[in-house]
Chains A and B, each alone.
Chain A
Amino acid sequence: MARFLQYFFNGLSNGAIYSLLALSLVIVYRGSGHLNFAQGEMAMVSAFFAWWYGRSMPIWLAVIAAAVTAFVLGALIERFIIRPIGLRSPFAVVVAAIGLFLGLNALAPFAWRVTNPQPFKSLFPNDAGDFVRIGGATWRYERIGILVVMLVLAALLFLLFQRTKLGLSMRAVASNPESAPLVGIKTGQVLMVSWGLAAFVGAVGGAMVASVNTNVDAAMMFTIFFSAAAAATLGGFDSLGGAVLSGLALGAIENMAAGYFPDLIGQELRFSSSLLIIMIVLLVRPSGLFGSQRVERV
């Protein structure tokens, strides 16, 4: 039981990071219908910003400043890269996003003139004794903290989407981009905000990864992005709640698979195990676990 709980707790905080990035992917997808392949790398660059700001200010302030920076950059990327290209061809956007992925990956170490991973301070109390003990398993404050941050952010996003005019505009654009201007919605602004918001959430995810790794590194989001994309797919790609639950579930399952079958799966195949689960789920439910099946009578 202690072993189970241990794998579960650790898996949940890995999963919380997947959830954060999956939320980013879902926000962009709902807004403009694109899968942003560069979402992970945008989070990585944001983590570099947090590291950079952190040299001259408290680390939490640096993370918030980095997330705000990410919001602005995300909005600009939508306006000046994604939108002009998307007007020509939706497929070109996929290529542009992959280009962005490679470009950002090369840019970060270059921009800050660093090659090795750079040390990053932990965002949570992280001394030897900073944990709670539940059922014989230890749950470190840092891992609890990551989970709480994700849940709070997800709740705020839910309120934004369901309770505000901006959220209503974003849902309207997602549902019917042709009709949105006919009720007076400035679709372009809504898309910029969507991409900005996604980058903001991703930046928080990037900071959490940096905190766990205790460093920032250009390759830090690589495997995480694939698990997050898998979580978004599993959750149905247009459901915030689906992204949260699927992220957590994948984190927990991966960790248990790796923990219980160290020889068969281990660290090498842990990501493959989640992809296998997704394939099976999508065979049975093509719109994911929580995705909306489009209901439309004519």
Chain B
Amino acid sequence: MTALLEVAGLQAGYGPVEVLHGLDFTVGDGEIVVILGANGAGKTTTIRAVSGTIHRRGSIVYDGQDIGRLAADAIVVAGVAQVPQGRGTFVDLSVEDNLRVGAITRKDGAVDEDVDRWFEVFPRLGERRGQKAGSLSGGEQQMLAIARAVMSKPRLLLCDEPSLGLAPLIVEELFRMLQRLNAEQGMSILLVEQNANLAMDIANRVYVLETGRIAATGDAATMRDDDSIRKAYLGY
């Protein structure tokens, strides 16, 4: 499998505080990769470094192109979309406008169809298409955030803890959605999660992040069945 995203020696942080001390990881074309880690391990920082919303050093090659110096908006145009933590929906815009704004970089004329398709996939969003996004429940906002990111037609989707603060049933629905996007559209997904159990179910490969360094890596299936790894890094 050829790598769609190849990250080497990634360092990033906030001001003088370095959070990531040189990460190496890859996401293959059509792969779901999950980065697991506890609070403060650097999961969100990793996502932000790839999406260009914070300062970072090291090499980030996406589809043969070095995106390590591009601004966030240019990275979206290149084909990488982010579902930020805490959803980052445009709360004052209607549900429909949130989807349209997700497609703002697109030049094709199929935006209307894609908006309608999402309303079929998530009927609850369709019922609320004219409402302000801020009035949605947490789970609905997370669905909207994923739908909005996918509206830009990315080849690589970055998801920052989509399960955060949501009920287990909703989380399952969201993860099935991610799996579907991967299977039906061949979308590659880089997911960072604390919820190891569920994330390992949909992932091909796993990295374990510990205080800004990769502590372990392997196939999701192998990692799940390896008791020592589970106990050491995943805590269950």
A243 to B193, CA, bound (A): 45
A295 touching B91, Cβ below 8 Å? yes
B218 at the interface (CB under 8 A from A): no
Size class of B's contact patch? 20 to 34
Which B residues are in CB contact (< 8 Å) with A182?
51, 53, 72, 76, 81-82, 84, 88, 149
B10 to chain A, nearest CB (A): 19
Size class of A's contact patch? 20 to 34
B192 to chain A, nearest CB (A): 15
A272 at the interface (CB under 8 A from B): no
B205 at the interface (CB under 8 A from A): no
A93 at the interface (CB under 8 A from B): no
Which B residues are in CB contact (< 8 Å) with A168?
97, 100-101, 104
B101 touching A172, Cβ below 8 Å? yes
State which of A176, A183, A187, A292 has its C-beta within 8 Å of the C-beta of B105.
A183
State which residues 158-188 of B face A: CB under 8 Å. 165
State which residues 32-79 of A face B: CB under 8 Å. none
B77 touching A184, Cβ below 8 Å? yes
Which B residues are in CB contact (< 8 Å) with A172?
90, 93, 101, 104
A171 to B102, CA, bound (A): 13
A33 to B69, CA, bound (A): 28
State which residues 44-61 of B face A: CB under 8 Å. 51-53
A294 to B133, CA, bound (A): 11
A171 touching B104, Cβ below 8 Å? no
A292 to B188, CA, bound (A): 39
B73 touching A179, Cβ below 8 Å? no
B53 touching A175, Cβ below 8 Å? no
B148 at the interface (CB under 8 A from A): yes
B182 to chain A, nearest CB (A): 20
B222 to chain A, nearest CB (A): 34
B92 touching A292, Cβ below 8 Å? yes
State which residues 141-185 of A face B: CB under 8 Å. 165, 168-169, 171-172, 174-176, 178-179, 181-185
Quick check: which of B116-124, B135-143, B224-232 contacts chain A, the rest being far away?
B135-143
Which B residues are in CB contact (< 8 Å) with A297?
134-138, 141
A181 to B52, CA, bound (A): 9
Which A residues are in CB contact (< 8 Å) with B93?
171-172, 175
Interface centre among A168, A169, A182, A292 (most CB of B within 10 A): A182
Which A residues are in CB contact (< 8 Å) with B26?
none
B168 to chain A, nearest CB (A): 18
State which residues 95-115 of B face A: CB under 8 Å. 97, 100-102, 104-105
Which A residues are in CB contact (< 8 Å) with B8?
none
Interface centre among A174, A178, A181, A292 (most CB of B within 10 A): A181
B11 at the interface (CB under 8 A from A): no
A278 to chain B, nearest CB (A): 24
A171 touching B152, Cβ below 8 Å? no
A65 to chain B, nearest CB (A): 32
Interface centre among A174, A185, A187 (most CB of B within 10 A): A185
A145 to B100, CA, bound (A): 37
A172 to B102, CA, bound (A): 10
A127 at the interface (CB under 8 A from B): no
Which A residues are in CB contact (< 8 Å) with B194?
none
State which of B105, B134, B148 has its C-beta within 8 Å of the C-beta of A296.
B134
Known: A182-B51, A182-B53, A182-B82. A175 touches B77 (CB 8 A): no
Known: A182-B76, A296-B134, A297-B137. A171 touches B105 (CB 8 A): no
Interface centre among B76, B89, B97, B101 (most CB of A within 10 A): B101
B72 touching A295, Cβ below 8 Å? no
A295 to B81, CA, bound (A): 26
A285 at the interface (CB under 8 A from B): no
B71 at the interface (CB under 8 A from A): yes
B92 touching A183, Cβ below 8 Å? no
A298 at the interface (CB under 8 A from B): yes
Beyond the given pairs A172-B93, A174-B92, 5 more chain A to chain B contacts, judged by CB atoms under 8 angstroms and listed by A's residue number, are A165-B104, A175-B92, A182-B82, A295-B134, A295-B135
Interface residues of B (CB under 8 A from A): 51-53, 71-73, 76-77, 81-82, 84, 88-93, 97, 100-102, 104-105, 132, 134-138, 141, 148-149, 152, 165
Shortest 3 CB-CB contacts between residues of A and residues of B: A184-B76, A184-B105, A181-B72
* CB pairs A–B below 8 angstroms (7 shown): A175-B90, A175-B91, A175-B93, A182-B82, A183-B101, A183-B148, A294-B134
